[in-house]
Every structure is written in C-alpha cells, then in structure tokens.
Amino acid sequence: MNYNDVLKTARTCIGNYCKACTICNGIACKNSLPGPGAKGVGDTAIRNYQKWQEIRVNMDTLFAPQSVDTSLTLFGQTFQYPFFAGPVGAVNLHYGDKLNDMSYNEILVSACKENGIAAFTGDGTDPRVMESATAAIANADGRGIPTVKPWNLDLIREKVKLAHKAGAFAVAMDIDAAGLPFLKNMTPPAGGKSVAELRQISDLVGVPFIVKGVMTVNGALKAKEAGASAIVVSNHGGRVLDQCPATAEVLPEIAAAVGSEMKVLVDGGIRSGTDIFKALALGAHGVLICRPFVTAVFGGEKEGVKSYIDKLADELKDAMTMCGAFRLSEITRDMVRK
C-alpha cells in the first residue's frame, strides 16, 4: 500500500468537499467551507503550495556518501523525522461521516507515535474532542501535542489540565482561530491574545508552549516575549483570513528575526520531503503537514499514515543525500535557490 493507493481508497469514503487529490494544492477545494477549502476567494492555500514550488533545490553530489540521520530533537524528545501531523478539528463537518474528531485523533496519534513522529490534535466546542485527543496522547506516552483554541482563561485552564494529565510533552495554541468561520459567535468566544495574556497562558502550560498562527516578524517577537518555546509560521491553510501571504514567503524573515532561542516550525502547502528540506533550509526547525494526513487516515487508517510518513521520509532523505546534508543541522540556506 503506497500513498497513491491510500488516496484512491480515500476517494471512496471521504465526504463531498475533499477530492483527495493526487497533489493537494488547494485548487479543487478552493473556498469550499465546510470542507477543506480556504476562506473568502480562497487563494491562500493555493499560494501556500505554489510558493514552495518556486524554491528550488541546489543538488550537489560531490560528497562521500554517508548514512542520513533525519532525527529531530525538540524539547528533549527525539523524533525520527522533522515533521509532524497538524491539528484538525470538526473532522466530520469538513470530511464526512466516516470519522469524527475522536476516532480521527485516535488513529492519527498512535500511528504517528509508532512511526517515529508526533501528531498535533485539534480542539472543538464539544469538550469530548479534547478529552479523547488527550486520552490518545496519554496512550502514546505523551507523544502528541494538544492544540488548545484561544478560549478565555478558564476554559484554557481546563483544557491544559487534560494535556498535563496526558503527559503531553508540549502544548500548542492556534492563536489565529478567531478567524475560523465556525467559531464565530460561539460561547465561549475564541479570540486574539495580548502578550500579557499569552504569557499567563504560557506560564499555565508549564511544558513547552507552541504558538501556532504567526505570519509576521512582529507577531513572532511578541510570541517570544510571552515565553513561547516555539511558533508555527502558519496562516491556518487560508481558513482564518482571506489573502494572506504564503508561509514560504514570510518564513525566512521570521526565522532570521527570532534568533535561536525560540524554535520555528512552519506549515502550509508542504506536501513532500523535498518541501520539508526547503523549509529547513529557509530556517525552520520542523514542519507540520495537515490535509494529506486526513486523506491518509481516511484512505488507510494507521497503514495509510505509515505510508505517507514513509513517502515523506524517503523524499527527505533523498533531497538530503543529493545535497550533501547528512543530518538536519547540515541543511543550510545555500542549499535552496529562491
């Protein structure tokens, strides 16, 4: 079962909005919401994908071959690869009845753990989403990152408790969730946070705190000031604000600005190991991939996840070998052309 087979199966059981495209580039779903599309005119996810394609890889094989080490150490944890499955919420609203947030996370978290990486889990207005996600993370010995929405402090406190109970090695917050159409006018509201509020949350979290949804140097510096251990350069796949820049466009300047104390992750249109290589060359420590893991779970459950991880791993190793980078720290800016 390779990832193309997984996609074929996914097409038979995924909801009407996602087409489980061979190349998941935001074109077929464009602005279908509900569904995996982007907000407004819907070109942000497309731009995310395309801007990675404009970055090219500088092949150089005049190196003695070495075995490739793709392992990433983050917050004291070692992962086999520098990529993570991204958080998804409202799975059956957007992707159909076959799975819901609970069953989706259960499959994803354990499959990721078993294959050497970790999954971010999503959050929702239904409290059971976070409960089951953190239960799955607990089963995975804490190798998963619960992603709490930017609720009010009371609700955040509750959710963080679940994360602590699960032994999650880190906790994330998608700080841009205020823009999600499906969270509009919900009670309690989810919204932006000031630096002071974010510091409170960071203190509350205790374990490494990852702020997801940063698209500007200024935002990154505020997250750092608030005590974040990492940020995810992300525009939420275009789902929270119409017509953002692509993450590949803003990553280099953000990575340059934050220095080495805070880790920089990135998501948005990263689909292959080659794309991962590019992101690392542009300054990211690791990446998140989201929609393709959804089709992987729909199309092949744990085996589907494994096949996609294997594909990414092969491609990443390939790119590293062909550029003479044999561990992640050897991937440098001059290995890509922009």
Separation between Cα atoms, residue 205 and residue 201, nearest integer Å: 6
Nearest of 68, 60, 34 to residue 334 by alpha carbon: 60
Separation between Cα atoms, residue 118 and residue 109, nearest integer Å: 7
Based on the shown chain and the rule CB under 8 A, indicate whether residue 194 belongs to the binding site for a copy of itself: yes
Based on the shown chain and the rule CB under 8 A, indicate whether residue 131 belongs to the binding site for a copy of itself: no
Based on the shown chain and the rule CB under 8 A, indicate whether residue 242 belongs to the binding site for a copy of itself: yes
Based on the shown chain and the rule CB under 8 A, indicate whether residue 76 belongs to the binding site for a copy of itself: no
132, 140 contact by CB (below 8 A): no
Sign of CA dihedral 207, 105, 36, 192: negative
Q: How many residues bind a copy of itself (CB under 8 A)?
A: 60
Q: How far is the CB of 134 from a copy of itself (least distance, A)?
A: 24
Based on the shown chain and the rule CB under 8 A, indicate whether residue 244 belongs to the binding site for a copy of itself: yes
- One of 2, 12, 73, 218 touching a copy of itself (CB under 8 A): 218
Based on the shown chain and the rule CB under 8 A, indicate whether residue 5 belongs to the binding site for a copy of itself: no
Nearest of 221, 90, 225, 93 to residue 149 by alpha carbon: 90
What b-and-e string marks burial along 20-43, b requiring 16 or more CB atoms within 10 Å of the CB?
Answer: bbeebbbebbbbbbebbbbbeebb
Q: By three-state DSSP, how is residue 206 classified?
A: coil
Based on the shown chain and the rule CB under 8 A, indicate whether residue 179 belongs to the binding site for a copy of itself: yes
Based on the shown chain and the rule CB under 8 A, indicate whether residue 328 belongs to the binding site for a copy of itself: no
- One of 2, 4, 12, 63 touching a copy of itself (CB under 8 A): 63
CB-nearer residue toward a copy of itself: 136 or 226: 226
Separation between Cα atoms, residue 222 and residue 206, nearest integer Å: 18
Q: Note the residues at the interface with a copy of itself (CB under 8 A).
A: 23, 40-41, 43, 47, 53, 55-65, 150, 175-176, 178-179, 189, 191-198, 211, 213-216, 218-219, 222-223, 226, 235, 240-245, 249-250, 272, 274, 278, 315, 318-319, 321-322, 324, 337
